[in-house]
Chains A and B, each alone.
Chain A
């Protein structure tokens, strides 16, 4: 059985891929200019004509699109097709104000199914493998994205959605799925529940986990793999682009293969907007080359990744690979010239026995020097009646963070539940320098 879903595309000669992308971009630019008033206006403002775009080399001439643009055009002002041609509408959680709305035509849904099927096969799925889909079904694109991909690729899907954890364990025991799809943190909650029920998750049938929709570190991956006895693979996607299925790790775990025949990736310096060198960290920008209802030009994902154009030594895919998301442009902080991503701190905390990843980063300016303090919640497994034991732990956390960041930090322990919990995206940074 093949390790590819669409071999001819996934292992395409890079030159041929470029030609395909260029051809699609030329069409796309004409399409958006004639159908989305938003882009027509934007192009006119900077004086660019669709005919000036002749290949992907010209993409730099095009303007960026941001999440704010989507919000300002709430709900349907960005659509490139009449509502009668829209098949499905999703919305992402609005952390500030209105949610972001995305829409799909029937062809867009077909495309979604195709790239998601590619993702499942890329992760090692074989036709007939049962997919236990623990992503939430509903407005959130996670659940339905995996669902469509399973239907397209021939994977019997169990649309269990998230929640009802005990029942999930029972279904896994009885249906014996090979593939688990959910957020990485939920997979750990499920494992805990299984153990409470007296079931060793390693004894269960799961061999592949396709995890995404939230940032997770390498140490969390190790923890999940150890607990479940499966291969934990990262999936990347965002509803603005299509949902899950934009990029997927293969079992080699050396970057996520981005399906660049549909989603053209660029990595830029978030400040200047200029392209940065291959392999260096920057903001991922995606152009949807083939979408109908809501095509986006140079969409700023705010996700920090690096890109690698070499053929994958593990699976032979020629599609470029993006790294795991290393952070967000919006919560990246710069302390004494060092870029700090909360995910790096999280990785360290998770690697220390007993420490839970409830933390917040405080940056303040003391005199003329920036100071970073990592505030961590104390819990019963790390607390001791002896000060020296607690201080030993504080020092350990401090040392390990310092070795990762190459930056001096302070660690402050606080009482449990004092760091604000948020549903969804946690607030990880308090930058006191801003005020």
Chain B
């Protein structure tokens, strides 16, 4: 299983709103593996990779937040100059469009990890695998 579950949470762009989310996760003993915030003037979308997405999903919803599960891929990139460029080159040459991407908080080893969301997930996975780019199993990410 390579499809990693990402949680997206709607937050108003106001003081204390982000804390509201992290507080729910902290109380439920949930570990955040990676996160990014995409923001507009009025609201933001907080994207999260956590150790237990199902529990986090339930807890956030119980607290009245709007949450969505999305499949993403965790792509391993060599932690050296040109590492990311190599991955993007492969995607570019194969006409794969990246919707968004962000980096992991912790590193597994000498590799860097990226969360990537594509418009065509199956095709992306296929191309990455064929080009020997490692897509980390979701189980491993949750257990990091």
Contact = CB atoms under 8 A, between A and B. Distances in A.
Contacts of A385: 6, 8, 45, 47, 68, 70, 117
Contacts of A416: 64-66
A415 B64 contact: yes
Interface stretch (A49-57, A177-185, A283-291, A376-384): A376-384
A433 interface: no
B42 interface: yes
A386 B10 CA distance: 11
A423 interface: no
B66 A415 contact: yes
Interface in A396-435: 412-418
Most A Cβ at <10 Å: residue of B12, B66, B99, B117: B66
Contacts of B70: 385
Given A390-B43, A414-B12, A380 B68 contact: yes
Interface residues of B, number: 21
B124 to A, nearest CB: 16
A413 B68 contact: no
Given A391-B40, A412-B42, A380 B11 contact: no
A415 B10 contact: yes
A384 B8 CA distance: 8
A416 B62 CA distance: 12
A386 B66 CA distance: 14
Contacts of B96: none
A416 B64 CA distance: 7
A384 B68 contact: yes
Contacts of B66: 378-380, 383, 415-416
Interface string B48-83: 000000000000000011111010000000000000
B43 A413 contact: yes
A390 B42 contact: no
Contacts of B64: 415-417
Secondary structure dominating the interface of B: strand
A387 B66 CA distance: 14
Given A385-B117, A386-B100, A415 B65 contact: yes
Nearest to B47: A385
Contact of B12 (A380, A384, A391, A415): A415
B1 interface: no
Interface in B22-40: 38, 40
B44 to A, nearest CB: 8
Contacts of A383: 8, 10, 66, 68
B20 to A, nearest CB: 9
Interface string B104-144: 00000000000001000000000000000000000000000
A417 B10 CA distance: 13
A384 B67 CA distance: 9
A373 to B, nearest CB: 10
Given A414-B12, A415-B11, A390 B68 contact: no
A252 B33 CA distance: 61
A296 B123 CA distance: 73
A387 B117 CA distance: 13
A192 B42 CA distance: 33
A391 to B, nearest CB: 7
Contacts of B10: 378, 383, 413, 415
Return the 6 tightest CB-CB contacts between A and B, nearest first.
A385-B8, A385-B70, A383-B66, A387-B38, A412-B42, A378-B10
Given A378-B43, A385-B45, A415-B12, 8 more contacts: A378-B66, A379-B66, A384-B8, A385-B8, A385-B117, A386-B99, A387-B40, A412-B43
30 contacts: A378-B10, A378-B43, A379-B66, A380-B66, A380-B67, A383-B68, A385-B6, A385-B8, A385-B45, A385-B117, A386-B45, A386-B99, A387-B45, A390-B43, A412-B43, A413-B10, A413-B43, A414-B12, A414-B43, A415-B10, A415-B12, A415-B17, A415-B64, A415-B65, A415-B66, A416-B64, A416-B65, A416-B66, A417-B64, A418-B12
Interface of A: 378-380, 383-387, 390-391, 412-418
